[in-house]
Amino acid sequence: MRSHRPGRPSHRARPSSGRAHLREGHTMRIGIIGAGAIGQTLARTFSAGGHDVQVANSRGPETIDASALEYGADAVSAVDAVQGKDVVILSVPFTRIPSVAALLAPVPGETVVIDTSNYFPHLGGPVDAVERGQVESLWVTEQLGRPVAKAWNAALAGTLQTKGVPAGTPGRIALPVAADSPEARRVAMRLVDESGFDPYDAGVLADSWRQQPMTPAYCTELGLEDLGPALRAADRDEAPRNRARMMERFATLTSAPTLEETVELNRSLHR
């Protein structure tokens, strides 16, 4: 797999129809719903890498930050962002996932939908099914009525913005990717690699709780060698307790932690 760093592309050719263009090295049509820190970063990265990228939010294309469009991504309506795409990336808060179900209803089944969200009940409110034990990504698929891949959720926005490096770079950070469809997982892994991180095959969505908040693999900036053991070491019952512990630690801070401090706080939960 190749990795791409931001830089203005020389062209943005649209791929031909069919699935062949999803092979490594071929341009993809990518729609991004959500223009927060992660959505903007992915829009910049993939348009810089030569993909045909359109980005949308709930407030209209005129509100998309210009920095997201710097390398050729287009700001469009949410409806346009999902039409005719090979990949749709959902970068919206977890509890807002149901609001995009109607938007995705007409999208063909072969379109790969990638979800980047995380469940934080103190931010969006509790979700009863998840509180009762449903895996977050399975709840997402249930709300959308279609399968998804899970990627980029186990990295902080600052990590995605500043720490992507070319494949083969020593110390490259690895990110887990889960999906029930091997094809969807392959496509998502290709894009994770192109965003500057080593993709790790984390298996099916039923196991994706292992990459959700406050597990050893979540926002701890591990390499490939360490990510697998971290995923296997995850304790599903311990994760909510770790989330509460983290909230307590943040409450004692007198200023916002830096990226490095936040990563260290996450790592310290598992020592």
What is the residue extent of each domain of the chain? Answer: 20-268
pLDDT tens, residue by residue, 39-89? 999 999 999 999 999 999 999 999 999 999 999 999 999 999 999 999 999
Q: Count CB atoms within 10 A of the CB of residue 264.
A: 13
Go through 41-79 and write b for each residue having 16 or more CB atoms within 10 A of its CB, e for each that does not.
bbbbbbbbbbbbbbbbbeeebeebbeebbebbbbbbebe
pLDDT tens, residue by residue, 198-217? 999 999 999 999 999 999 99
What is d(CA 217, CA 210) in angstroms, rounded to the nearest whole number?
A: 7
pLDDT over 50 at 13, yes or no: no
pLDDT tens, residue by residue, 115-132? 999 999 999 999 999 999
Whether 243 and 213 have beta carbons less than 8 Å apart is answered as yes
Nearest to 243 by CA among 262, 220, 266, 271: 266
Q: Quick one: pLDDT at residue 95?
A: 97
pLDDT over 60 at 109, yes or no: yes
What is d(CA 117, CA 261) in angstroms, rounded to the nearest whole number?
A: 22
Type of residue numbered 27: T
In sequence order, what are the residues at sequence separation of 6 or more whose Cβ sits closer than 8 angstroms to the Cβ of residue 118? 94, 136, 153, 212, 213
Whether 30 and 51 have beta carbons less than 8 Å apart is answered as yes
Give the rounded distance of the alpha carbon of 177 from its chain centre.
9
What does the block give as tokens for 39? 């959505």
Whether 185 and 152 have beta carbons less than 8 Å apart is answered as no
Type of residue numbered 175: L
| Dihedral pair phi/psi, residue 198, rounded to 5° | -75, 125
Distances (CA, A) of 9 to 1, 4, 12, 51, 133: 19, 11, 7, 9, 45
CATH topology for 20-268 is Rossmann fold (3.40.50)
Q: How do strand 74-75 and strand 87-90 relate by DSSP bridges?
A: unpaired
| Dihedral pair phi/psi, residue 114, rounded to 5° | -115, 130
Q: Quick one: pLDDT at residue 163?
A: 98
For the whole model, what pTM was predicted? 0.91
Q: What is the mean pLDDT of the chain?
A: 92
Q: Quick one: pLDDT at residue 198?
A: 98
What does the block give as tokens for 69? 């469009």
pLDDT over 90 at 12, yes or no: no
What does the block give as tokens for 26? 């071929």
